[in-house]
Every structure is written in structure tokens, then in C-alpha cells.
Structure 1
Amino acid sequence: MRIGMVCPYSWDVPGGVQFHIRDLAGHLIQQGHEVSVLAPSDDEQQLPSYVVSAGRAVPVPYNGSVARLNFGFLSAARARRWVHEGDFDVLHVHEPATPSLSLLTCWASQGPIVATFHTSNPRSRAMVAAYPILQPALEKISARIAVSEYARRTFVEHLGGDAVVIPNGVSVDFFAHASPRPEWQGGTIGFIGRIDEPRKGLPVLLRALPRILEAHPEIRLLVAGRGDREEAMAHLPAESRERVEFLGVISDEDKARLLRSVDLYVAPNTGGESFGIILVEALSSGAPVLASDLDAFAQVLDGGTAGRLFASEDSDALANAASRLLGDPEARAELRRRGSVHVSRFDWPKVAADILSVYETVTDGAASVAPDERAGFRARLGLAARD
């Protein structure tokens, strides 16, 4: 199958959506499908062979974060050319409800379109206001996927219709078989996320750290991610700062090794999450997980069965829960056991098979159109007939 995927966010600044698209594309290519990904990127950036640059992205505040999007006349021209030259059996766009490449590509395409919605934002005035602009593109979509029930709910409440829920995928074996790093072992808590993005929750964890150290003075906090460490620790007591180690941006391999090394992984996010891929990666690595009780996180952690939950933004609740787990090896071992069973539903072979079933459904529907109608339709688009 010839599959075109559209990434709305800059390939140069990786995030959950980019990782999802990258891993899905890689899995489908391994299965013998032809995949091309259109994404914003600096033209000078070295890209994987299957990624086509649509030009540089610009930062736009969105959903409590900063989205790096690409939207304009040049981008629209590149999207039209990519669609024309790709002659795809199915087009898979991500986040078409944002002013992005995905929306531009929906406007340019006339074939079967599958859309995945990642955002969880129950009160998006921007999405409501933009609906008249979005509607013509959304009506062209053949099938809709949401990565969680909360992303589905956002889509339904703002745009109408419905979507099938297929979660984000993770290469479980990649994380499960990573080798721990000795320097990251021995009484460590892990945090991975953008340091300078408040909704990732590092300030909540740092406020809890002094109380955790009172109960467990040997503990170290390992922080991996982009941002200013000095600014992050500005309000942390001096005696606690020496127990924090900033690792900066780390590779996928080191992320897996970090998760395999820590005694406890903490996800103190404060909102704006529709899924929680880092939780699944941590579970795959065998790390006991403690996460804020966001709806999406609770769903990923099976209501608190596969990982512990604490009240979001409550640093005292975080400190109490972390201190109890750090002092209870048996409880951590039980969380590891439950997590390793639970993550099988997120493994890429299962997730990709579900997505491929959606592709096949929409392409079978397109194939039901009479041959002469398809030929005339393609001629109107100026596209050459298939071999």
C-alpha cells in the first residue's frame, strides 16, 4: 500500500506526535508498505529518507504549549505537489483541526483520508471559532482516529461526528531490553520532559523534593529534557540542589536506559495531555510509575492499577506517595509486574495492525466506486492513471 502521512509539527523539535508518526511509518515500512511523511523542517535539516520537508515551521502558542507549525502559500504549494507526486492509496493526516500542513493537505487531496486527533482540550475556543474554516476539510475525511477517549471527546464536542480510539504505540521490546546505566542506578527518581514547559510539571516535582529527601536523603532526581536548569531550580533550597542532576536532551537509547535504571518514574504533568506516551515507555522499561491523576494518565495506567496516581499539582500528595513507594520495594515490584502485563495493548504490532485495518476499510470503500467514475475523477485532478 502507498501511504502518505502528514506531520503537523516541526520534525526538528521532536514530541509525542512526531514520535508516533516516526514509529508508525517505520513499522509499516518494515512490513513492506511504501510510506512518505510530509513534515515542517528546515530545508538544511538531515531527514530520514521517507520524510519530505514542507519548509520551516514557526512557533505558535497552543494548548498550554508552543506548537511549531507550517501554514502558508509556500506550504500549500508543497503539500499539493507532494500529494500529486505521491499518488497515495491513503492519506493519513494528524491534527487536521490545527492551522497546519495537515489541514492544507486535506484541502489538496481528493483520495481516501484518515485523520488522527491527538489533542485533549475540553474548552478550545479557537477550535470552535475555526470550525467554519475547518468544516470543508473535515468533511473530506473518510475515517477518524483518536489516541484516547479524551482526545475523542474533544473532537466530538467541538467538531461533531465520532472517532475510533486507537492508542499511541510503543516498541515495548526496545524499552524492555535496554541496558541500565550504573551511574543512573541506586536510589534515583526519573523525570523526562521539557523543563521550561510548566504543564510538564517539573516545578511540582521540585517543590515535593525537599519532603522526599527528608524521608530518603540518599535519593537523587535525574532530569532529562530541554530547558534552563538554573531557572528551574531557582526556588529549590540549596541543600536539595545537589541531589538534582540535569542530563539535558538525551537520545532514544539513553531514554530507555534511564527508564530501566530508576527506582521510580514520576510524571507530574498538570494538564493538556490526551494520552501519556512517556508512561507507556516507562512501563515497558519496568519502571514503577507515579503520575498525576489526569484523566488521560488514569486511563493509560488502568485506573491506578498499573501505576500509582496522586492529585494533580499537589506537591504534598506527590511527596507522600513517592516516599511511600521508595520505602516499599515490594510495592514497586508489584507495579513492575502489573505494568509489564498492561503494556502489551500498546505494542506497535497491535496498534499498527488496528491502524492498517482503518486504512483498508477506507481504501476498500474508495475501490467500490465504479472504474469509469474513478478514471474520470483522477482525470479531473490531472493525475496519471495507475499502472
Structure 2
Amino acid sequence: MLGVPVRFPGEAPNLPPAAQQPDWPDRAALHAATAELASLPGLVAAAESDALRDRLARVARGEAVLLQSGDCAESLDGATPERVGGKFGLLGRMAAVLTEGSGLPVVQLGRIAGQYAKPRSSPLETLDGVTLPVYRGDLVNGCDFTARDRTPDPSRLIRAYGAASATLGMLRELTARHGTELWTSHEALVLEYERGLTRTTPAGTYDLSAHLVWIGERTRALDGAHIDFAAGIRNPVAVKLGPTTTPDEALALVDRLDPERRPGRLTFITRMGAEAVRDVLPDLVAKVTADGAEVVWVCDPMHGNTFTAPSGHKTRHYDTVIDEVRGFFEVHRALGTHPGGIHAELTAEDVTECLGGSCAISPDEVPDRYESTCDPRLNACQALDLAHELAARYVRHLDGA
């Protein structure tokens, strides 16, 4: 069916404010691109999103584990068999380690086939006295520091649809060949893209750009456009919660996004940082649990633990990542609740973006193979280290040790 009408900030006074949106200079081109998106088939099926919600309900009840991972920001030229196959294979290896250790089925959810946009701390960037729009991901503009590349380009919305479609085609072949399930997710950041792929079906309204979409820490305002959008779709949805989140805010998000209290509908992805997780998370979990809401609690140990390496690159240390994971498990053990899973930025590529791990990446090595256009990712070696650590944590948690 045709997409729902696309609404643009500033054109309807009753719309909630939308944070982190590009400043599209060519409004006519933007209208044309979103109209084209609305005429195209959905990338996923509504029934697939319903099936994922059923899988996530098992996670919420403590009967399964969620493994959500993938690139910080996908590139539009990354839809190749080698790259897609590498991501699929790494996720599968991590899931196998986690299943063996926990004894629980693993729901595999990729940051894939749509993770083309990123929120940024500033709309502009200055280099050598020249100021240009910041790079917001391939969905919006290019990474090269030129006026042509950095100008938001609505045609990229259509190119992203094509890249996502190609990626999904490869994933469907791989899952059929290996007899596995893999679901797709990304941050619902650029609302023109999300609304353009939203469809009204007999079962309700779905964002058919992915099986699950999440709302980020910078766009989770209760009165904002992103929460308004998420409240209106039937997909399972997630929200990232940072260290400033209050218990009342968490419960208000439950009321807004999961008023029927349906297990599997809402996931909270906590990104507290290793120093704050043990102090902030307990009150959030306790408040939501006391309300009776069965949400999925997932740990993002990456975003709260970023710092700058001597080379000037953003990086993370594997040991700090693991410390936040351990704090996450400690909180849930103390409260008698289920640590639902992990949300991590990682890649099958042999990059040197994060320090430590069994591959022992040193600060001097960070620039050697730094390929991310935004945030640093764990490489395959560090990702498997993480899987083994998670498996050990689940063994202890389930055994009560």
C-alpha cells in the first residue's frame, strides 16, 4: 500500500519538534525523493516485524538473549557479498558462542541494511578556517570535506533504499542457506526516510525500512518528533537511555511507547558508561519492573566509553567496555531481573579502532587501520572476546554464582 503522508518540519505548526534533522537546501528535491520512497515496496514485511516482536517477548521473559550488533554507520557502497557475508558470519559465530555458554536461544539482530545516518554533536565542522555541514552519514551527505560532498542530498535517500534492498537480498540468501534467522535494525533518525517507508496495512501502521528501529539518546524527548513517530508504528521499537535518564522518564517512555504492556514491543538500550552503570541503572530497572512492564533490557557498552587516542582518533578500550557489561549483569543479578543482551558496534574487518582485547591493539596502532567514518568499532577478534565474556556472564547469572 502507499506510504503515509510525509510531514516536514515547519510546514505543520502542530507537529512536535524534530531534533538532529539535516538542513536540506533543495526542498523540491526532498519532496520528490520522499514521494518516490512512498511509492516503493517496503523493505521488510509487517509479518516479519511481528515475528521479531514474538522473539523479543521471549527475551523479555528471560527465555532468550538478544545479540544486536553491526557497523557504527554503514556505507552506501558496502552492499557487497564479501562485506555482507563477513557481518553475517561474525554475528553467527558470536551467537554460537553465546548459545553454548548461556544455554538460551539467541535472537540475532543486525545494525544492518539501514544504519546509514548518525546523530552529531554539532551541525557544522570547521577545518583550516573552512566551515561546512557535519557528516551525518551516507543517507544524508558525503564524508569528504568539500562543499559538494557535505551538502545534504535528497537523492541519497533513494540510494540508501537501493543499498538496503541489495543487502537484504544477500541476507535472505544467507539465512536460507544456513537455516538461521537474522533481523534488521537501525536508528530511526532521518524522519523523511522513515516516514517515506511507513505503510498502513490491514494489521496496522509499520515502518517497513527495518524489523526494529530505535530512538537515540539525543532524540528521545517525550514531546519530540521521534518518540511521536515510534508511538505510531507497530514494529518493535527501542530507546537508548543515557546516564542522565531518570526513573520517571523511563516509565513515561513505557507509557508512551508500550501503553498496552506487550512483551517484545519495547527495548531499553542502556548506554551509561562504565563509571555510571552501577549507580544509575538500578533505579531505572526497579521502577520499570515495579510497574509490571516487561521490557527488554540491553547493554550498549560502547557509546558511554569513548575517548580520544593520542593520534586524535576517537577510540574505546576493550577493558572499559567489559567493565560496563559486568556492571550491567551485576545490577540485574541484584534485582533478580533478566539481562536481556548486548548492543555493540563491531565489524568483521581487521580494524584497529578500539584498544585492547586478546589482539592487544595499542594506542600507537589505532591509526593503522582506522576505517570508521564515525565511531570506533570492535574488530572480529575483540567481538569474539566479547561473546566469550558474555557467555561466561550468563553462566554465572543463570547459575546464581
Q: Relative contact order (C-alpha < 8 Å, sep 6+): which is higher?
A: 2
